[in-house]
A and B are shown apart, each in its own frame.
Chain A
Amino acid sequence: MRESYLLQTPPAPETVTPRAPFGGLEVAGSRRVTQITHSEVCTSDAGIVAQVLAGDVEAYRLLVERHRDRFARFAVRMLGNREDAEEALQDAFIRAYRSLAQCADPARFDHWCFRILANRCRTRGARRRRHDALFVADDAALEQAAASGGIGGDGTDTSDIDRVLEQLDARSREAFLLKHVEDLTYESMAALTGEKVSALKMRVKRACERLRELLEAQDG
């Protein structure tokens, strides 16, 4: 379905069309929409992968352009800052390039590359925590969020959201992002992470409980 979709002429930039956040992965609902951009050219991921493997290195840029922003959002939300996120995403794209021949289903390059990215985020997040440079205490995060209109409020800077998300442990944060930001089904999350559905549900539940606590602390 995605293949045929991508072969159509892209609509005008202002057109908003439902689309799975990751090719082939089921989304949990239809409330989320993704704007089609001009960079989503009429070439399938599988076609580009074949082109790269045939020796056209520069064609890889099309895959980077196509998936960069979607992956960037996940990396920034996971790691809490752009610098680490850029490094993790760059690393993921390079690793994906090196291993491109091992991508079992090139039509789902985005799914495969996202898995690499998720692992790079885990590794980089661990290194960052080791140096403990950016971890923000609850009070500081709440104070900053409140100053900009409250958590998730209209005036909230996304950096405040990143600080709030940092209050979640990494497992819970990843599960919350995959479920409620990337809108994946639990089955797709399980395929992506290798975790059991039951474990993922528990992590999402814990994440929601923790965020509720933060909201209550803010309101209180």
Chain B
Amino acid sequence: MDEELEPGLERIAAAARRPVHFDTRFDDRVMAAVRRTSRPSAGAPRRLAIAAGIAALMLGSAWLGRRTAPGGDRSAAAVRGTAAADRVVEFVVLAPGAAQVTLAGDFNEWSTSATPLEATGRPGVWSVTLPLPAGRYEYAFVVDGERWLPDPNTPRAHRGDFGLANSVITVTGRT
């Protein structure tokens, strides 16, 4: 063990280790919801569509020239597309000095490693392109694995537990 607790703190940890039981009605509720949910596909991850759009994001006060359709909701208007099921959204962030930037959100179960951004060749500019079905998504950037950054150009959902607000993007369906 690499870190022992003194007796006082160990008492707290021991109390926190006491089991918590949810009964089988919990399982029933989960399974009822699962049955109402579309079945998971055993195939490849969701296919990239050929639509294009940009949700341009900024870090600090630096702008990156977000392309926005006139008259629309900020985030929704930032996503455009022409193809079948999904819209393609490009997330761009300016993060000078970052060694790694990832995107975490509802679309990847808030994984901080599943969706890395790539350096674009422009100094400090990172981007990633994602296919997203129509819907509302909360997201944030994670810089160097520890700094969570919301997008100042899109609406915020709420202040997160970690003192940051998630950003929200709404991907509209094909018209």
Contacts and interface: CB of A to CB of B under 8 A. Distances in A.
Interface string B97-135: 000001010000111110000000000000000000000
Interface in A149-183: 151-153, 156, 158, 160-161, 164-165, 170-171, 176-177, 179-181
A68 B22 contact: yes
Interface residues of A, number: 75
Given A54-B42, A152-B12, A28 B2 contact: yes
B169 to A, nearest CB: 16
Given A55-B39, A97-B34, A208-B5, A69 B20 contact: yes
B8 A152 contact: yes
Given A90-B33, A196-B145, A99 B40 contact: yes
Where chain A touches its partner, the secondary structure class is helix
Interface residues of B, number: 54
Contact of B113 (A29, A129, A152, A194): A194
Contact of A64 (B30, B41, B113): B30
B112 A194 contact: yes
Nearest to A34: B19
B13 A180 contact: yes
A152 B33 contact: no
B109 A180 contact: no
Contact of A98 (B20, B22, B40, B158): B40
Interface in A1-48: 28-32
A150 B16 CA distance: 14
A181 B17 contact: yes
Contact of B158 (A97, A126, A181, A208): A126
A57 interface: yes
18 contacts: A61-B31, A73-B20, A77-B20, A100-B40, A102-B109, A116-B110, A119-B110, A122-B160, A122-B162, A123-B138, A123-B161, A126-B158, A152-B13, A158-B18, A164-B12, A181-B17, A194-B112, A211-B9
- Closest 9 CB pairs between A and B? A194-B112, A152-B11, A29-B1, A119-B110, A170-B161, A100-B40, A53-B42, A73-B20, A180-B13
